[in-house]
Amino acid sequence: MVSLLAQAQEVSFPTSAFVPLAVGFFGLGTGYLIYGPQELFKLPGRDRAVDLITGIWGVWMPGFLQFVTGVILFVGLAWLHSFREPALYMAALAFTAYGCTGGRWASWSSSWRTTPRWPACSSA
């Protein structure tokens, strides 16, 4: 019985032609689409509710989607071997790094401005 459980089984996945880069770029584009008009045209006007929603949908959600894309790429490249392109390692690193730090950098950089978008981080 023990020898039956100790046997290693090799599982092989086919190489995927569909790389999940669209998920990361969707997050990036959504962040620009939501955060861009607020910063460029000052529409809608700032208040606490707008800042909260802009932070969630314009900073957190794009970063989360990029982090998920990076993790999917790393798992597919390293563990499952379902992606074969060497350039995807760089894409996986970039998506994961931006997903981990994108929201933090956005909130820290806004603390250097005079307008208090993030009250907890503002210097005023």
- Give dist(CA 120, CA 81) in Å, integer: 43
Q: Which two tokens stand for residue 45?
A: 């006007």
In a domain? residue 99: yes
For the chain, the C-alpha Rg in angstroms (whole number) is: 20
In a domain? residue 81: yes
In a domain? residue 122: no
Q: Tell me the whole-structure pTM to 2 decimals.
A: 0.71
Domain count, the chain: 1
In a domain? residue 3: no
In a domain? residue 41: yes
* pLDDT given at position 95: 92
* Tens digit of pLDDT at every position of the chain (124 positions): 556 666 777 777 788 888 889 999 998 898 889 888 888 898 888 888 888 888 888 888 888 899 999 999 999 999 988 998 999 999 999 999 888 776 555 554 444 444 455 444 444 4
In a domain? residue 101: yes
Q: Which domain holds residue 84?
A: 19-108
In a domain? residue 50: yes
- Torsion on CA atoms 96, 102, 105, 109, rounded to nearest 10: 150
In a domain? residue 123: no
